[in-house]
Structure 1
Amino acid sequence: MSYEELPHTADVKIRACAPTLDALFGEACRALMQVMYGGDRSGGTTRSIDLDAPDQESLLCDFLSEVLYVSEVDGLVFRQADVRLDGMQIHAVLDGEPFDPVRHNKGTEVKGISYSGLSIQEDAKGYMLDILFDV
């Protein structure tokens, strides 16, 4: 499992790879938190997210949008997401901690999750995702 930031002119473009679709969604969440808050994150506080959508891309965007919303509204910074997909439904348990302005100030504000250029691909090694975070 891994993710990397790719060059983009205006936003933050992320490529994530994972052996399973569940893990890919979890990596996308970790990448979002890395962009927003940097790498100094721990756990101890959990939140659950349950959603459904008509397709994988919509499910991913809805999931990450909900993570963004919960993070901002509840003042939480997540270090990981335990994701379970069942068809076009997702159940995720997010593990994180309260926002600390001293430790979590190394990121970039993300305004939203973009459908532009979004792709989820499967090959012999697993899954790969390209996604844009609107900053």
Structure 2
Amino acid sequence: MTYELRDHTADVAVEATASTLSALFAAVADGLTAASCESVPAEGGERFTVRETAEGREALLFDYLDRLIYERDVRLVLPADHECRVVPPGGNDEGDAPADADAPEWIVEASARAVPLDAVAAREIKAVTYSEMTLERRDDGWYAYVVFDV
């Protein structure tokens, strides 16, 4: 999985690729972390978990990233070192365990390391946007482009 930060007028964008949708969500979240500061300490900060649901992939990615920004604001931490498991309604073709068969929603179960904000020189990312958001399967895996308001 990879990500790159892209200039976007007064905002910042993350462009990411990965072999699975779960890895793509983690790569975009890692891009959000990179957009927030120049470097992240290799140690410190306990892991925390989040779970989000939505009716579609794009909405799930949006809600997940929005939740990470919320966690930053409430916990006063920079979420880093992301791990994600994305499950579509009824199961997954990526090898993840099937979701609840009755669940009509996409699910992301994720964790991140909570790096205290006072340990980094963080730039405030105000919000994730739907502006120009792209999330698609490609021949060689998955691709995402997400713009953040700074």
Q: With structure 1 as the length reference, what TM-score do the two structures score?
A: 0.90
Letter in 1 for 2:109: H
Residue 92 of structure 2 is matched in structure 1 by none
C-alpha contact 1:41 1:78 (8 A) present in aligned 2: no
Residue 99 of structure 2 is matched in structure 1 by none
Residue 36 of structure 2 is matched in structure 1 by 36
Output the aligned Cα RMSD: 1.4
Identity, % of aligned pairs? 29
Residue 134 of structure 1 is matched in structure 2 by 149
Residues 35-74 of structure 1 mapped to structure 2, 5 A cutoff: 35-42=35-42, 43-74=44-75
Choose 114-123 or 91-100, whichever is displaced more. 91-100
Choose 108-117 or 77-86, whichever is displaced more. 77-86
C-alpha contact 2:45 2:114 (8 A) present in aligned 1: yes
| Runs of 4 or more above 4 Å deviation | none
Per-residue deviation, 1:44: 4.1
Per-residue deviation, 1:85: 1.1
Q: Gapped runs of 5+ residues in structure 2?
A: 89-105
Residue 93 of structure 1 is matched in structure 2 by 111
Question: Over alpha carbons, which structure has the higher Rg?
Answer: 2
C-alpha contact 2:50 2:110 (8 A) present in aligned 1: yes
More strand, by proportion? 1
Q: Gapped runs of 5+ residues in structure 1?
A: none
Letter in 2 for 1:46: R
